Chain A
C-alpha cells in the first residue's frame, strides 16, 4: 500500500507544480481522433515552431476529447496565475496569432476565445463565458467524461492526481460485498445498450462455479456514427482499466481482456501504454498491493465484424472461432470464455464504476431518474449545428439534446435515429420523450450504445432505412434464417421502392419479414435489425407512400423520383452551384436567380451540398414522366 501512496503523492505534487501552479504557460491541445481528424497535429507543429520562434518556454499538454467535436481543433492556454482559456476551430495560422498575443503581447485575444475554466469574476472582467456555460455544454453533466480533455491520457500520473484508483483502493479495503452493494444502490444499468442491471451481472459472475473467471470489456463499438467508447479510451483509458480491475476483484477473476475493434489504433496504443503504467504502479500482477488478489489485463483486437459486439459472438471470437452468437442459456456469467464464468460489460459501464466506488451508490442517484439513474454519453451527429460527444443525465428530454445541446438543425428537423443501426427513428412529435431505456423502447426504438443521428428535411427516410438495413445485411453472421434472409428481403423491397417501382404490397411484405425477424431471431442483432424499417414505417408512412404511389421523393434524394428547382426566395446568385455542376445544367449571372435545366441534370447532388442557402430543392416530376426512361437516363 505504501508504495502506491508514494506514487500518488508524487503525482499530486507533479499535478500541482505542472498544472495548477505552473510557473510556465500551459498549452492544452486536443489530440484524440476527433482532434487529429480536424488537423490538430498540424496545429501542434505550429505551436512547437512558434514557441521556438518566440523564444518562450511553455508546457504543452496533449489532452483527449472534451466533447464538442465541431469545435476541434481546440487549443487552450493557461497563463501562470490565470485560468485556462479555450480557443476553438484553431488553424495553424490562428494558433500562431493566439500564441503570439498571449505569450509575447500579454493579450488574451478574447475576441478569439470561446470559453474559460476560471470563476465568474473572470467572465465579468473579460467578457469570455465559462466554457461549461456554453449552450452546448450547460445541460451536460460530466461524470464519465470528467477527466476527458483535462488530463494527458498517456500520463498515468495525471489520472492518479484525479483520485485515480481510489475507487479500487476502497473496494480492496471494504471487500467485494461493498462493491456489489454500491453498484446495486447506484442502479447502474449496462451501458452497452441492453440496460441490464450491472450489479446483477456482477453478482451472477461472482456466484458462478469455477476456479478460473474472466472479465471482458466490450470495446468493439461497431455502430456507425458512435464513438463514445473510442473517445473515453483515447481520453481517459485508466478510468476503464480501474473499472475492469474493480470488477475482477469483485467477481473473483484473475484475467481481464479488452476486446477492442482494430479500427481504433490510437485507442489500442493508449490502452497498451496505460496497462504498462498500471504494472509499474503495482496495480497488475501477483498479489496486488500486498493483497491476495492477482490480476492481469490483455488486449484482443477485433477483425472487422459488427456482430462480434454481441457478447456471445465476442466470446467466440476471443476463442479464435467464427464470430457467431450462441443460444443463451447458458449465459456468459455461467459459461463464457473457454467455458468459464465470464463477466462482460461495455467500456462505459466499466468507466463509470470507479466514481461509484469512490463516492458510493447513493451519490450516483442524484443523476437521472428512478430506474434510470446516472448519466450516459452519446455521440450527437448528423444535421445538428453542434456535433460531438455529450454526456447527459438519463431522463433528459430528447428535445433538449437536439435543440439546446445540438443547437438545432438549419433546415426543418425530421427525425433522430437513436441506438445505432439497430435502432429506430423518432420524429418531431416524439421529441419530448425523456431518454430512458423504457421510453426509447416504448417509442419503437432502443437506447442502444448511444448513437444519436439527427436528420432534417433533406434526408430521405426510405434511403436512410436502406442504408441501415444494408449494414445489418452485411454484418449479420448469417446463421439463422430470419435475420439472414429477412434483411435481404427488406433491402430488396426498399431498393425497389427507391427505384420508383414500389407497390403497396411491398410495405406489407416488409412488415411481415420484420415481424418474423423480431419474433424468431437467435440473437439481438436479428431481433433489432428491422427496427429502422419498422419505426420509419410507423412514423413516416407518408414518405413511403409518396415513393410508392406518387413516385416522389420529398427529400430530393432518390434519383429519378424528383427534379431539382432553384428556389427564388432562397437563391442569392452566388454562383457556387454553377461551378459545382459537372453537367453544365445550371445557368445564372452573379447576384441573379439561377436556373437549372432538368434535362441536363444527372441528380448527382453536388450543387445541393455546396449551396449554403439550401436553395436547390426537390419537387415532384411532371405527371406524365416515364420513370423507367428517366431512371435509365440517370444511370
Chain B
C-alpha cells in the first residue's frame, strides 16, 4: 500500500510502514544519523536525524517516525541545522575534542607519530580511530570549529583485561549500537546500559569482564562503534586500511565471507562481508587472522636441514634437492601427509603428484586419524549436507555435539534466530555448552554414553514406537518425548558439531544419525572443523585406511601438516608449511608455503558449496602456494602436465572431472592405522590451521581456551 508524502519539496510515493529515514535513504536524501544502524531497530537516542514535520510540534526524529499520507517533511531547514549543530556540540562536550579547537591542528599530523599512543585520549590525534570516526564526519559536515559548552571527562579507566579489543568508555557517545547489536542480532546481551542520568555508561552486568559475562568475542560491537571507544588490539594504531579484499575465512568449514583489511601489503584485520551474505563472524575469523598470518616466525626462505645444522638455500637448490630425493626413492618408500586445510587446488595437485610423479599410493591426511573409523560415514553424510540457511525454515532442530560459544558462534546465532521464529531447539551434549540454556530440550548423556542416548532417540522415532514399556528409565522417557516431537515435525534439521564428528564412538553415532535422518526426513548440516574436508573427499584424498602399519619410509612429504613426534627410522622430511616444524629434523627440507590470505584458490565448505579465496597480500619472503611448490618439483622431474600459471587453470581442470565415477582413488594400504596415535599431536580444542592450534599464534584465543 503506498502513500504520498513530500520531503524537502520532492513528492514521493512511499510504502506504508516505513520510517521517514528509510524513505529518505531510498530516495537519495541524506539525513545525518549516529545511533541508527540499518539492520537494527531504530533507537532515537542521538537525535541527529531530527526533521521538521508540518503540523507537529518541535522536531521529531526521522528514524522513529512512520510516514503518513500527506506528510510534509523538511530535513534540512536552518532551524534543524542549528539544532543538530547544538546536539553535536553537546556530544563533543563529553568526548575528548581538544583537536577540534586546537590552533595547531593543521600541521600537527606530521610531528605526532609516536605521541599518539599516550594512553589517555585527549583529542582526535591521540585516538586510534582518527580518520575513521563518525563524530569527525558529522563535525566536518556541520562545519564545526568550536564546542561552546563546558567539557566533561568521565575519568574511567581504559578496560584492557579482555582479549581482542580495548574499551575506553571516556569516548562513548552512548549511541547504544553495541548494546543493540549484541541483543538483537546476536541474542547475547553481553552489554547493557548501566546506571542512569549523567552517569549512564555501557557495561556488562555487575561489572564483569567480557570473558565472565559470556561474550563470544564475535566483534560485532567493535564493528558498529562509531567512535574510538571500542578498538581492536591488533590494529589499534594502524589507521585506516588501504583496501578491502573479499575472500572466504579458511579457519573452519562454515565458509563465512570476509573482507580482509590490508595496509602496507599486510593483513591488519578482517570484517564480515555484508555484501557477501555474511553478517557476522566468529572470534576466529574476526580476530584470529591477523596474528595467524603475521607472526614473526613465518617461514620465508627454503632451508636445508641435516645433522650439521640448517642452511637457507635458494628455491632452485631446494627444488633440485627435493626432486633428487624423490627420484632416488623407491616407490613404496615415499609417503605424503596432506592437511584438509589445504585448498582444492593444492589437494588436487597433490593427488596428481602422487599418481604421476611419485607413483606412490601412500597418500593420507591427518583427518583420517582425527575421524578414525567414522570417516567413511562422514563421507556418505556429505552427500546430504545442507547449508546453514535451511535453519531458517526449520520447525525442529536437533544439535548433536555442538558448542558455539566461541568458534562457529555464527551458527549459534542462526539457531537462536530459528528458535525466535518458532523452531524447537533440541541439543544433545554431555557438557555445558552454548545451547544449555537456550535449548528447549537438553538431552544430557553421561560422557561416553552418547551412543546409548542416541539409540533411545532412534528407537522412539521408529515407526510403531510409542508402545508403553514400563521398564523405561527417565532418560529413555525423555528421549522418547523428543523422538515423537521430531517425528511430528515437518522440517526437521539435524546439525552435527565438530566434537560429535571426532567422537571416539563416531562410527556408531554417525550410522545412527544416518538412520535418524531417514526416519524423520530431516535435513542435515555437518560442521567439521577442517576447512576443506569436503574438498579432501571430493579430490579423492580421503580414503578409508586399510591394513597394516607404517612401512619404513625414505621420504615423508608433509603438506600443511606438522612433523610427527616420533617416527621409526627418521625419513628425509619434505616439510611444506607456513610455520617452522615443532621439532628438529634430522634431515629434510623446510619449504615456506603461503597462507590462505596470500593465494588464490577454492575450497568446498560444510555444505559442499564452492568458496573462493583471494590473494590479498604478498606472501612473506619467497613463500609460495603449496600447489606451486609441488608443480615445480614435478617440472624438475620432467613430468608433463604441471605447468599451471595460476589457480584458475587448476580449477578449470579438476572441475571437468567427476571424482565419484573416475577411478582415481589411491588405495591407502595402511600408511596409518586408525586409532594409531600418530596424529593426535594436533590439539584441536581451539581449532587449528595447517596443523598448528590457533592459540599458538593468537594470544587472545589462549584466554578463551586455557590449557
Contacts and interface: CB of A to CB of B under 8 A. Distances in A.
A389 B64 CA distance: 41
Interface in B69-95: 83, 86-87, 90-91, 93-94
Q: Which of B66, B93, B196, B200 has the most CB of A within 10 A?
A: B196
B198 A322 contact: no
A512 B174 contact: no
A8 interface: no
B149 interface: yes
Interface string B20-64: 000000000000000000000010111100100000001101001
B149 A478 contact: no
A104 interface: no
Contacts of A496: 150
B197 interface: yes
A474 B86 CA distance: 22
A-side interface size class: 35 or more
Given A473-B197, A485-B90, A488-B152, A479 B45 contact: yes
A496 B150 CA distance: 11
A440 B176 CA distance: 36
Given A327-B44, A513-B149, A516-B83, A476 B90 contact: no
B707 interface: no
Contact of A473 (B44, B59, B93, B198): B198
Interface string A486-530: 111100110010000000000001001101101111100001000
Contacts of B93: 485, 489
Given A474-B197, A476-B197, A509-B148, A485 B91 contact: yes
Contacts of B46: 480-481
B436 interface: no
A473 B200 CA distance: 11
A520 B44 CA distance: 11
A478 B198 CA distance: 6
B197 A482 contact: no
B84 to A, nearest CB: 9
A477 B200 contact: yes
A266 B197 CA distance: 29
A261 interface: no
A158 interface: no
A488 B198 contact: yes
B196 A305 contact: yes
Nearest to A526: B47
B193 interface: yes
A481 B87 CA distance: 7
Contact of A487 (B65, B83, B197): B197
Nearest to B196: A478
Contacts of A527: 58
A474 B436 CA distance: 39
B44 A484 contact: no
Contacts of B173: 481
B47 A522 contact: yes
B138 to A, nearest CB: 12
B264 interface: no
B87 A484 contact: no
Contacts of B90: 481-482, 485-486, 489, 513, 516
Contact of B195 (A478, A509, A512): A478
B197 A481 contact: no
B673 to A, nearest CB: 58
Q: Which of B47, B61, B66, B176 neighbours the largest number of chain A CB atoms within 10 Å of its CB?
A: B47
A497 to B, nearest CB: 12
B37 to A, nearest CB: 16
A69 interface: no
B470 interface: no
Contacts of A493: 150
Given A493-B150, A513-B149, A481 B47 contact: yes
- Classify the secondary structure of B's interface with A: loop
Contacts of A522: 44-45, 47, 61
A329 interface: yes
A478 B66 contact: no
B44 A487 contact: no
A151 interface: no
A492 B58 CA distance: 26
A186 to B, nearest CB: 27
Contacts of A315: none
A218 B297 CA distance: 67
A208 B148 CA distance: 47
A519 B150 contact: no
B199 A327 contact: no
B192 interface: yes
Contact of A482 (B87, B150, B152, B176): B87
A475 interface: yes
A478 B199 contact: yes
Interface string A451-484: 0000000000000000000000111111111101
Contacts of A516: 83, 86-87, 90
Nearest to A493: B150
A228 interface: no
Interface in B176-215: 176, 192-193, 195-200
Contacts of A479: 45, 174, 176, 193, 200
A307 interface: yes
A329 B66 contact: yes
B61 A327 contact: yes
Contacts of A329: 65-66
Contacts of A518: 58
Nearest to B57: A519
Nearest to A515: B86
B45 A481 contact: yes
Nearest to A516: B86
A487 B150 contact: no
Contacts of B83: 516, 519-520
B416 to A, nearest CB: 19
A519 B61 CA distance: 11
B196 A485 contact: no
Nearest to A487: B198
B196 A475 contact: yes
Contacts of B44: 327, 480, 522
A540 to B, nearest CB: 22
Contacts of B45: 479-481, 522
A502 to B, nearest CB: 12
Contacts of B94: 485, 488
A492 B200 contact: no
Given A481-B90, A492-B150, A493-B150, A519 B198 contact: no
Contacts of B198: 473-474, 476, 478, 484-485, 487-488
A495 to B, nearest CB: 10
B197 A520 contact: no
A503 to B, nearest CB: 11
B543 to A, nearest CB: 57
Contacts of A474: 196-198
A492 B50 CA distance: 26
Contacts of B148: 509, 512
Contacts of B59: 519-520
A172 B336 CA distance: 89
A595 B249 CA distance: 85
Contact of B87 (A307, A473, A520): A520
B50 A520 contact: yes
A85 to B, nearest CB: 50
Most buried by A among B66, B86, B148: B86
A475 B200 CA distance: 11
Contacts of B200: 477-479, 484
Given A484-B198, A519-B58, A478 B87 contact: no
Given A327-B64, A478-B200, A489-B150, 11 more contacts: A480-B44, A481-B87, A481-B91, A482-B87, A485-B94, A487-B198, A488-B152, A489-B90, A513-B90, A516-B86, A520-B87
Closest A-B pairs by Cβ, 5 of them:
A478-B200, A327-B64, A485-B90, A516-B86, A476-B197
8 contacts: A322-B193, A327-B42, A327-B64, A476-B196, A478-B193, A479-B193, A489-B90, A520-B87
